[in-house]
Structure formats: structure tokens, C-alpha cells
Amino acid sequence: MDASPFDPPEGSLRRSVGRGAVATGIAQALKVATQILSVIVLSRLLSPEDFGIVAMCAPVLAFIALFQDFGLTQATVQKHAITHDEVNYLFWVNVAVSTALACLMVGAAPLIARFYGEPRVGPLIAAMAVQIVAYGLGAQHLALLNRRMAFGRLALIEVASAVAGFSAAVAWTLIDRSYWALYAGTLTSSLLPSLCYWANSHWRPGVPRKVQGIGALLNFGAGITGFNFANFFARNLDNILIGRYWGNTELGLYDRAYKLLLFPLSQIANPLSKVMVPALSRLLGEPDRYRSAYLRVIPLMLVVALPGVATAVATADRLIPFVLGEQWRESAHIFQALGFAGLLQPLNNPAGWLFISQGRSGDFMRWGIVTAATSALAFIIGLPYGALGVAVVYAASEYLRTPFLWLYIGRKGPLGARDMVRAAGPFLLGAHIALAALWLVRSHLPDQAIVAIAGAAMLSYAVTVAVALLFPYGRRSLREALDLLPKRRSGQS
């Protein structure tokens, strides 16, 4: 008989996490590769102005999206035991809120176009309301798949959606080479996942009815929503300010630099949260296992991501024209500045796993407010100097915030700030030394861009790993990270 859609899988938690991390990692690698390919191909097919128009809409869509979920998907995943009536109630809350927000988005579209002084933004904003409704219809089905740790299915859905979205955008350029091609891609990659979640979750909603005790789930979700609301400003206020005061061309340059670097980095941590939050929630009563599980994954993320970021920063003057084309050369300095923030984000982005799995949604919200305030200050300080100034000051603010983040997390729970320094410090130090080494030798790299970038990447990974191996905890972290990978055993299927 099929397991209940509300039950996590039976068997070894470590095996589920290991297989889930591998499946999610492979899927995310394919998804990021598709996104980078999309940036490359569409940047050659469309103009910076087209990307600037879509970038003007992105903060609005992100702002509306803050409220459609209310943290209720995380509540479904994190709750120890949940019933059909509770999930059903949360489903209808998601649908009702998403529909209301979609209507609000359509109504606000003319005002947003007037704010930017760009009439083409209005119809695009109104069309994006469809994506809001699509997400609301699939949110609880996605949560149930995460709760069941159906990571293989989720990985296939994510890859298929990314490929379908890219294909739709490219196909649309054959009809109309404009910003509507980008909309066609995002719409496809929004509708397809919701359909797949319904098909794979084995759960269907019923008639909505009031449920006793639902307030605890709503309160938990409110804390998550509070963080998301604050985090919106940290992630999108830069686009709003640059678009408003410097125009869509400058915003297009900034947006391409951001999308090529920081967006893929955030996509490393976000999918893994689907693996780690359910697992850590189940381990909360076992502090040693909780700590070990988290510290197995973080070094692996750092050793994969940080040397690549160092390579991209050091070779940006060759990488950007090679990947995007000569018309984007001006964004290379913006890319380099954002790259310094990228050296810390693979460490800081997974902090949300700890807040959520420990039930600390209130602390999560308060940290989001701190991040939003300090990021907004950084954007304002850098704005007079254009997109490059915004990028430079934002990167500096990331360095200033990081120690306070981990001290704040370490006040409670199984994981302390000292644990993170021991586990992550060797890799962070190694990546920064690798960047310095690449900067010193970059004038000696071959003239061919692809050969130079490949050589720089090999050197960056070698230096990062070599530095990490100098530290006892660095060696231990690498061994534990490798242990996470599945091993073949003779005599077993």
C-alpha cells in the first residue's frame, strides 16, 4: 500500500539525505548550467534595454510573491505530524492569497509603469500575475513532496522546468525578438512545476473547513514571511534605485552581472534546503547528529562554489565579453565587485536552514530586518556612483554582516559560531588566497579566453583545497563531505 503523502520516508535518514543531496546537486548543476546558457544565448539575441525592462518588473513580482506563501510550505515541512485537514486548510489559504495578490498586481501595473516612466512595464507586470496564481496552486503539493523527501522527483521537475523555460524563451525570439521572450520563459518555468507537483504528490484538496490548532502553523509562517518581506529589500532595492535614477541600460548591465554570478550562487543553497530542512527538523532532539549533518554539507558547498567565484572575479575582463559578448564589457567591473559578496554568500545563505529547522522563525525575521536595513544603507551610499558604486558598497556590507550573523545564530541551538569558524574558515581563507594568486598571475595567462579561464579555474581549486588541507578541521571537513557521497557496495543493489 502506498505511504501517506504526509509521512516522511522510512529507512536511514543519512541515506535519504545523502541520496537527496546528490540528486539535488546534480539537478542544480544542470539547472544552473541551463540558466547560464540562457544568459549567454538570450544576451546575444536580446538587447540590454530588453533585460532592463524585465529587471524593472522583477522587484514587483518578488514583492508580491512574499505574501502568497506566508511561510506555509515550510510549516508543512517542519511540523512533526500533520493531517489532511491542516494541509487542506493551508492549500486554500495559499490559493486565496495568491488570487488576491494577482488581482492587486494587475491593478497596480499602470502605477508601476508611471513610476518608472516606462509604459512597456505595465502590460508585462499584469501578465506576470499568472505566475502568482500558478505558484499558489502548487505550493502545498510541493511542500508534501519535500516532506516525503521525494528528492529524485523534485530534481527531475526542476531540470525539466528550467530546460522548458529556456526553450520557450528562445522559441519566442523567433516570433518576436523582445522582452516578451523572457516572459515566455518565466511563465513556462512557473506553470510546468505546479502541474508536475500535482501529478506526483498523490494528494488532492477537499472542501475548505476550519481546523483546530491551525494558529500555530500560521504563526510559524508569519515569522518566515516577516523574514522574506525584509529580505525583499535586501535583494531588490538595488534594482529599483538603479532603474529609477540611472535608467534601464545601467540596470541591464547590473542585472546581467548579478544574474551571471550571485543568482546561480543562491540557487546552490535554495534547492538543498529542501533536503536539509526536513532532515535537520527530525534531528533537532539529537544535537550531535544535527551539528554533524550540517557541517557535512557546508564544506562541500564551499569547496565547489568558492574557487569558481574566485576564478570569475579574477578573469571578469575576459569572462564577460567571452560569455555575453562585447556589448556587455562595461558590466565586468560590476561583476567583479559583486563577486566579493559571492565569496561569502555560499556560507551565509544556508543560515536559513538553521533558523527554520530550529523553529526560530522570529529570530529569522529579526535578522532579515537587520540585513534589509544595512543593505539599503549600502545601496544609498553607493548610488551616486552608479551601478558599480552600489555593487562595491553592497559587497563591503556583506563582509561586515557575516560575523554578526553567525554570533546571532550561535546564541541558541546545537550549532555555535566556533563550529562554523572551524568548518568553513579553511575554505574561505583558501578561496581568498586563490583570488590573490590569480590576480598576481592574470597577466601571464594565455591570450585565448577559454584557455585562460580554464587554467585559472584549475589553479583556483588547487590553491583552495591546498590551503584547506593545512588545517586539521579542513581535512576532516573534506573527508566528511566526501562521506556524504554514495559509495558502491558489492552484493547490494
Q: Could you report how far apart the first and last alpha carbons of the chain are, in Å?
A: 22
- Report which residue type is found at 423: A
DSSP state for residue 410 in the 8-state scheme: T
Q: 418: Cβ–Cβ under 8 A, 6 or more apart, which residues?
A: 410
DSSP state for residue 8 in the 8-state scheme: P
CA angle (351 as vertex; 79, 402 as ends), nearest 5: 155
Question: Which backbone phi and psi does 179 adopt, to 5 degrees?
Answer: -60, -15
Q: What is the pLDDT of residues 14-24, one digit of tens each?
A: 666 666 667 77
Q: What is the predicted pLDDT for the residue at 1?
A: 36
Residue 10 has pLDDT above 60, yes or no: no
Q: How far apart are CA 351 and CA 140, in angstroms?
A: 23
Reduced to 3 states (helix: H, G, I; strand: E, B; else coil), residue 413 is: coil
Question: Of 27, 9, 15, which is closest to residue 484 (Cα–Cα)?
Answer: 15
Q: What is the predicted pLDDT for the residue at 221?
A: 81
Residue 426 has pLDDT above 70, yes or no: yes
Residue 3 has pLDDT above 60, yes or no: no
CA pseudo-torsion sign 321, 326, 331, 333 = positive
Question: Which backbone phi and psi does 79 adopt, to 5 degrees?
Answer: -65, 135
Q: What is the pLDDT of residues 182-225, one digit of tens each?
A: 888 889 988 998 899 988 888 888 887 777 777 777 778 888 88
Q: How far apart are CA 457 and CA 312, in angstroms?
A: 8
pTM listed for this prediction: 0.74
Q: How far apart are CA 339 and CA 432, in angstroms?
A: 11
Do 416 and 410 form a contact (C-beta atoms < 8 A)? yes
Q: What is the predicted pLDDT for the residue at 489?
A: 44
Q: What is the pLDDT of residues 363-422, one digit of tens each?
A: 999 999 999 999 999 999 999 999 999 999 999 999 999 999 999 999 988 999 999 999
Per-chain mean pLDDT for the chain:
84
Question: Of 280, 351, 286, which is closest to residue 21 (Cα–Cα)?
Answer: 280
Q: How far apart are CA 185 and CA 127, in angstroms?
A: 13
Q: What is the predicted pLDDT for the residue at 310?
A: 94
Q: What is the pLDDT of residues 38-96, one digit of tens each?
A: 888 888 888 888 888 888 888 788 778 777 777 777 777 777 677 788 888 888 888 88
Residue 488 has pLDDT above 50, yes or no: no
Average pLDDT estimate for 335-347: 92
Q: 490: Cβ–Cβ under 8 A, 6 or more apart, which residues?
A: none
Q: How many contiguous H segments (helices) and E segments (strands) does the chain have?
A: 19, 0
Q: How far apart are CA 231 and CA 375, in angstroms?
A: 9
Q: What is the predicted pLDDT for the residue at 36?
A: 79
